[in-house]
Amino acid sequence: MLALPVLILLELAAASQNAPITLPKGVKSVTFGTAHRYYGPGKEMCVIVYPMPGGVFEHGVTELTYAVELEPQVVKSASARVIAPAAQELRAVGCHVFMPVKGGFTQTQIGNTLSRSDKQPLRSGQYMLRVTADGQTVDVSFTIK
C-alpha cells in the first residue's frame, strides 16, 4: 500500500517538471532546431523544418536555431534573447519571417541561428531563451548535452 502514494508523488513531480509553459498572448510557439534558409520576395527567410523534441541538442553542436512564431498583426513588439553558459562569445544570424498584409508587411517570426565566434562547439549546459511580447516575458529552457 505504501508504494501507491510514492508512485503518485513521483508522477506529480515528473508532471510539474514537464508542465507546459504559458506563452505570452500572441506568441503561437517556440521551436528549436536547424534553420533552413530560403529567399522570399526581397527577403531572406528561414524556418525550422524538423524541430528538436524537448529542446535538447547533442554534445558537439556548432550551431542551433530558435524561432518564436507570432500571430499576424496581434503582437506589437517582441524580442527574444538567449542566456547562455559563460565563457563563449555567441554570434547570431537572424531567422525572421514576414508576411504581406493589407497596407504592408507584418513579422510572424523572430529568431536567430546561434554559433560561437571562434567556430567551436557550443558549451554543454542549460540555456534559457527569454521571450518578451507586448510586455509579457517567459523563459523557455533548452539544453546542450
Using 50, 70 and 90 to split pLDDT, how confident is the model at 18?
low
**Which of the two residues, 45 and 54, has the higher pLDDT score?**
54
- Summarize pLDDT for 42-52 with one digit per residue, the tens: 677 788 999 99
Give the mean pLDDT of 3-20: 41
Give the mean pLDDT of 123-141: 97
User: Of 40, 62, 67, 38, which Cα lies nearest the Cα of 51?
Assistant: 67
Joined together, the cell numbers standing for residue 36 give: 533552413
Return the CATH number of the domain spanning residue range 30-144: 2.60.40
pTM, to two decimals: 0.82
Give the mean pLDDT of 27-52: 87
Cα separation, 129 vs 80, in Å, equals 7
